[in-house]
Amino acid sequence: MMTLSLAVRNLLRNRRRSLATLLAMAIGSTSILLFGGFSSNVNYELHTRHVQKGGHLQIQHRDFYLYGSGNPTAYGISDYVKILAAIQNDEALQKMVLVATPTLQFGGIAGNYAASVSRTIIGNGFVAEDINRMRRWNDFDLRTQAPLSALEGAAKDAAVVGTGVARVLQLCDALQIARCPKPEKETKSDAANLPDDIAQLSLQETPVASDAAGASPRRIEVLVVSARGAPNVTSLEVIRAEDQGIKELDEVSIMMHLAQLQQLIYGKSPSRATSIMLQLRHSDQIPAALARLAPILARFSVNQPLAVLDFRELNPFYVQTMQMFDTIFGFVFVLIGGIVLFTVSNTMNTTVVERTVEIGTLRAIGLRRAGILRLFVTEGALLGLCGAVLGVVLALVLSVIINQIGMPWLPPGNVELVPFTVSVWGENRMILGTTFGLVCIAILSAWWPARRAARLDVVEALRHV
Amino acid sequence: MAVLKQVEKTYHMDSVSVPVIKGVDIVVRRACFTVLLGPSGSGKTTLLNMIGCIDRPDKGQVIVAGCKVGDLTDDALSDFRANNIGFIFQNFNLLPVLSAYENIEYPLLLAGASAKKRGERVPKLLEAVGLADKAKYFPGQLSGGQRQRVAIARALARKPKLVIADEPTANLDSETGAAILALMRRMVKRYEVSFIFSSHDPDVIKAADDTIFLKDGTIHGIRRQGGEGAP
């Protein structure tokens, strides 16, 4: 208590220097917390988007995640309806699971024959109502909501495509997609060089296009391989194009009703699903849900090996992004920690020099070396604590201002602008960790000058001018 | 109270060695007012530092309050100083962030004295040095004489057996210096404590029980006038 009181008074003794050190620490602490708050917010954004899109957990054939992209239908889950029923009837899971819905992934070719264009696609069939319920999940109270799927309530032959697919299939005008550049038309005509018979054939084709003019301009044909290996074609009405955020995905993505897709792939055979998506009320329920799912899945794994993957395993990009942010956060902390270290160290060194006689006096009247060390380390720790706490207060105030401004920005992989926000309030682990870290750095930086002070020769110290 | 036997001390500055104390024998008597008198550079402060246990001799033995202090570790020596020796400095050396009361209380806090004990002891000392009304004043708000009075009270706080005062009146005007000298004399009698202080002012001889004359690190004479007499 005596040491603490003396340390406080000594810090107040040279207010200007203490304040300058305090401000340096506070600005450092604020910077760390604001960056950490931004990083947290990116985490919440990505976390929410992935959970909205694919749920927290997905039950899949064990090999689907690694090999399924080659032939998704080969990894279908045969008893998915029974598994869904078992999940929905489980008392513990009922309390945790918000949405449990099947999805079927497929690969194929989509073509707009009116425009003579086609491209390979990777698509999903899902229950639109369930998907829209999943898109309403917002456990982190984000300000922006994911757009709902247009498939809900749409005709059974409706489809939603990525804007890239729409562009390649030349559906931009029909779907009224803004900012959809059209390819330059070939001006050079080879007609004059065509042999007569080929030119005649070409002319014969023209009426076919004229016939198609009566059909919907948003109609596409989708070719898939059925479960038995035969090609199967269906005609779909594209009702909307949705930007998928990533160009590669945007140019292959197609979504349609699960029932329609199952009919296309499985015909009259029993239908399958490639995944069962489970969305939980809260992300921290994942371990409990996994534990509860294990015995249920064991019952259905006799003829087909099943696995449960959480959204982090399914989205390595998310994990990598957050690891990158964590690394940058660590780097920023080290940089600012270094600045704090030298600032506090410099302050304490100056203080020791200024108070050399005082150190000699204290030693002469009986204070041990450890007492001197304790006194200066306490001063450093107090500086660190006050600076860090001031930094927390500043960061909280600034975060409120930044969140109020809500400057729009486009996070990577996002399709819509979101307000630039930082989450500091409630991030107790980050706040406590930063405060503790900075106090430790301050103690460390005070320790060396304090040790020097403690080792001063009493006579030399008293003689100091 | 303090005995120095064949004490020697040499300061080493770069390649030059300067012998400051050359085989000195001193006995400081109990409850006596002892003055070390000598010109600047005669070794007064060095001798006081060794008696005060903040410096060690190169040769010889220092015994304070019956204890061979040369055998003590640094921590033990700190504790020994805290329990047995009080210090009064030329520049007062009060802690500027503490009030007069707190400066006097500080050695008691170091000793872990209870709040009750401190509450009894400090006001008595303040009264003894005539500063009862200045308890809450900080050193910066006190005159030189008043600061030195606080320093005297602080030195006496833990009822030491010996008080070391290195030229305590050097920074005071003659009138205040005389008052401080008189106060120290009163304290010797009131608290039965040995005071040993250095001075280069020959006028202080008449206030002293014992006067030790120092020159060039050796004793040139000892004059004893009164006091209890036992070492």
Asked if B54's CB is within 8 angstroms of A458's CB, the reply is: yes
Taking the CA of residue B179 and the nearest CA in chain A, the distance in Å comes to 24
Q: What percent of chain B has pLDDT over 90?
A: 58
Residue from A365, A373, A456 whose CB has the most chain B CBs within 10 Å, to mutate: A365
Residue pair A369/A457 in contact (Cβ under 8 Å)? The answer is no
CA distance B181 to chain A (A): 21
Share of chain A above pLDDT 70, in %: 92
Please tell me the distance from the alpha carbon of residue B23 to that of residue B6, in angstroms, as a whole number. 4
What is the band of A454 on the pLDDT scale with cuts at 50, 70, 90? very high
Q: Which two tokens stand for residue A327?
A: 């690394």
By Cβ distance, the residue of A2, A366, A370 closest to B81 is A366
Chain B residues touching A366 at Cβ < 8 A:
78-79, 81-83, 107, 110-111
Q: Which pair of tokens denotes residue B190?
A: 């009131």
Nearest to A366 among B96, B98, B107 (CB): B107
Residues of chain B in contact with residue A458, where contact means CB-CB under 8 angstroms, are: 54-55
Q: B184 or A330: whose pLDDT is higher?
A: A330
Residues of B within an 8 Å Cβ radius of A: 49, 52, 54-55, 74-75, 78-79, 81-83, 86-87, 89, 91, 93, 95-98, 106-107, 109-111, 154
pLDDT, position B153: 93
Q: Is the pLDDT of residue A1 over 60?
A: no
**Three-class secondary structure assignment of A347-383:** HHHHHHHHCHHHHHHHHHCCCCHHHHHHHHHHHHHHH
- Does the pLDDT of residue B202 top 80, yes or no? no
Long-range contact pairs involving B212-215 (C-beta distance under 8 Å, separation at least 24):
B212/B26, B212/B34, B212/B35, B212/B36, B212/B37, B213/B37, B213/B38, B214/B36, B214/B37, B214/B38, B214/B42, B214/B43, B214/B44, B214/B47, B215/B38, B215/B39, B215/B42
pLDDT of residue A211: 47
Q: How confident is the model at residue A142 (pLDDT cuts 50, 70, 90)?
A: confident
Gap between the Cα atoms of B137 and A410, Å rounded: 63
Which residue's entry shows tokens 């809900």? A152
The whole-number pLDDT of residue A230 equals 85
Are B75 and A367 an interchain contact pair (Cβ–Cβ within 8 Å)? no
- Among A44-48, A82-86, A406-410, whose mean pLDDT is lowest? A406-410
- Who has greater pLDDT, B187 or A57? A57
Does residue A189 surpass a pLDDT of 70?
no
pLDDT greater than 80 at residue A121: yes
Q: CB–CB of A361 and B54 under 8 A? A: no
Where is mean pLDDT largest: A141-150, A425-434, B205-214?
A: A425-434
Give the pLDDT confidence of A199-243 residue by residue, as tens digits. Answer: 666 656 554 444 445 567 888 999 998 877 888 899 999 999 988
Check: CB of residue A423 under 8 Å from CB of residue A41.
yes
What mean pLDDT is reported for chain A?
88
Q: With contacts defined as CB-CB under 8 Å, which chain A residues touch B52?
A: 364
The pTM of the full predicted model, rounded to 2 decimals, is 0.79
